[in-house]
Amino acid sequence: MLSSVVIARGLGVRLYGVNASVNSLLTLLPIVLSLGFEQTIQVLVPRWMASGEDRFRVRTLVRRLVRWRLAVYGSAGAMLYLAAPFIAGWVRELEVRVFLRLVVPAMIISGVAAIYGNVGQARLQIRGLTIYGMAAQLVGLAAAFFILRAGWGIAGLLSWTIVAAAASLCFFAANANTMLPAAKEPIEVGPVLRFAGAAWLTAMFGRLLDRQMDIVVLNLFRTPWEAIAAYNLGASLGFTLGSLANGTGPLFQGALAEAAQRFDRRRVGTLWQVAIKTSAVLWVPPLFFVFCFAPEMIARFYGEGFRNAAWVFQAIALPQLAYALMGESFSGPLFFALGRERLALSLRIAAGALNVVLDFALIPHLGVLGAIIGTSVAMLAVAAAEMMMVYRLTGALPPVRFLAKWLGAFAVAGLGALLVPDLGWWGWGVRLAAYAVVAVGLLRIVRPLEADERDLLMHHVPMARWVFANL
């Protein structure tokens, strides 16, 4: 979030829109070209570790995946390099040609680094990867600040992306310990490719619901850069706040898989409900506060020129929240845990296709508003479908009673904070304190969690133990 503030202030509204469009390609292309390699590593490496076949087979797998990735990314990168002048002409921004050609090496190097990084994650080398990730974020923030102060603009930011990707590749490759001799016996390619294909299609069609796809379509219809900037900032702000809860995903994936292996579908459903409660606990408090004060906060932090992003955020934040609290973030892992990969894939394909169709139907007439409507309708449709399928498989529904109490408490707290006058920076502290005091007071009265629910949440999400212990 801090880096987006630095970049927005350093580039201004128009160039921020250009940068968002270039980054949408840098985000979408690797997903389209990934072929599920990362998901394959996350599944096969722990499995081989458990069977004692870790060292040599992992090295063989990784080297093969790296060769395939270089071939796929290299071919796609060459085509993007050649197409850059035509794309720049279409969007009527000649500098985009230079930016897209810088995307090519950044994409290739980052793609290879991602393979090695996922090996470390699969081996649960979490501490080293977390420390490196935090350090990389801080260095990247400082680099963005100095690059923009020096006037190097988007080209400078993309050049730094290449340098950072190369550093990540070196660190992840060394940390993964896959550079030593590999296994002499070949591994079976068929099962690897079949699993990778299913995971790839699920991830790719899931990304069609993301703002990056909307930005691509907005560019196809030559939407003004300023409007794209407002949409990117407003939509990404909601997803950034939601990322506070996304870190719990891996915690529940393992628990869901373990419960499914024991053929305990009722417990699978209970864990799904616990995951939804965790999302609400971590996401709702910051989201409601920012929602209430979005125009003032965006203008103060990002600059007055970005004030239009506030209505975008407010229009899409509530559908994003409903999407999460209907269990969407954890329905996919639940389907995979129960061996229903085709179900997860079919729902993702339907949702992604619906979003693309609505984008092409609405954006030419409504612009950014059309993108908001299309994405919101598609998100809520897939969330409703997945919620019904979860109910059929496990008998579980979202915890409505808990959500009503939790959402109600913070909605009332937000209204109370709106009564506090604007007193500058001190006023924000007073508003935040009023918001917290009212919310905590109401929660102490309504007691949204039962004792057994509290114990279950503290067990599965120890990082928020102190929060659940006081609910």
| CB-CB contact of 68 with 59 (8 Å) | no
CA separation for the pair 424, 300 (Å, rounded): 10
- Answer whether residue 455 is part of any domain: yes
**C-beta separation of 438 from 289 below 8 A:** no
Instruction: Specify the pLDDT at position 166.
Output: 93
**Do 61 and 41 meet the contact criterion of CB atoms below 8 Å apart?**
yes
Residue 259 has a pLDDT of 60
Among residues 162, 190, 218, the one where a domain terminates is 190
Same domain for 64 and 140? yes
Buried b (16+ CB within 10 A) or exposed e, 300-319: eebeebbbbbbbbbbbbbeb
Please indicate, yes or no, if residue 197 is contained in any of the structural domains.
no
394 and 270 share one domain:
yes
Phi/psi-derived region of residue 177, left when phi > 0, alpha when psi is between -120 and 50, beta in every other case: left
Question: Is there a contact between 382 and 328 (Cβ–Cβ < 8 Å)?
Answer: yes
The set of residues, in sequence order, having a beta carbon less than 8 Å from that of 400 and lying 6+ positions away, is none
Mapped onto helix, strand or coil, the DSSP state of residue 423 is strand
Report if residue 199 sits inside a domain.
no
Q: What is the pLDDT of residue 81?
A: 92
pLDDT at 424: 73
pLDDT at 402: 85
pLDDT on residue 454: 63
Gap between the Cα atoms of 155 and 159, Å rounded: 6
Mean pLDDT for each 10-residue chunk of the chain (471 residues)? 78 88 83 78 67 65 85 91 89 84 91 84 68 83 89 90 91 70 54 66 69 85 90 84 58 59 70 80 86 88 88 89 80 75 80 88 92 90 88 86 87 87 77 86 74 62 57 58
105 and 44 co-located in one domain:
yes
Q: Any idea which residue has 């990322």 for tokens?
A: 243
pLDDT, position 452:
64
Please give the model's pTM, rounded to 2 decimal places: 0.79
Question: Closest Cα partner for 386 from 348, 426, 443?
Answer: 348
What's residue 431's pLDDT? 86
Domain boundary among 190, 221, 248: 190
Q: Are 184 and 212 members of one domain? A: no
Same domain, yes or no: 213 and 184: no
**Residues 104 and 160 occupy one common structural domain:** yes
Question: Does 241 share its domain with 339?
Answer: yes
**Side chain identity at residue 106, one-letter code:** A
Q: Distances from the Cα of 236 to the Cαs of 290, 305, 317, 328, in angstroms?
A: 13, 17, 10, 18
Residue indicated by tokens 């260095």: 139
Same domain, 254 and 402: yes
Residue 367 shares a structural domain with residue 261:
yes
For position 109, what pLDDT does the model report?
Answer: 93
Q: Are residues 405 and 339 in the same domain?
A: yes
Same domain, 227 and 184: no
Rounded Cα gap, residues 303 and 347, in angstroms: 40
* 186 and 237 assigned to the same domain: no
Residue 425 bridge partners (DSSP): 423
The residue range of the domain holding 17 is 1-190
Q: How many domains does the chain have?
A: 2
In a domain, 424, yes or no: yes
Q: Is residue 203 part of a domain?
A: no
Residue 131 lies in a domain: yes
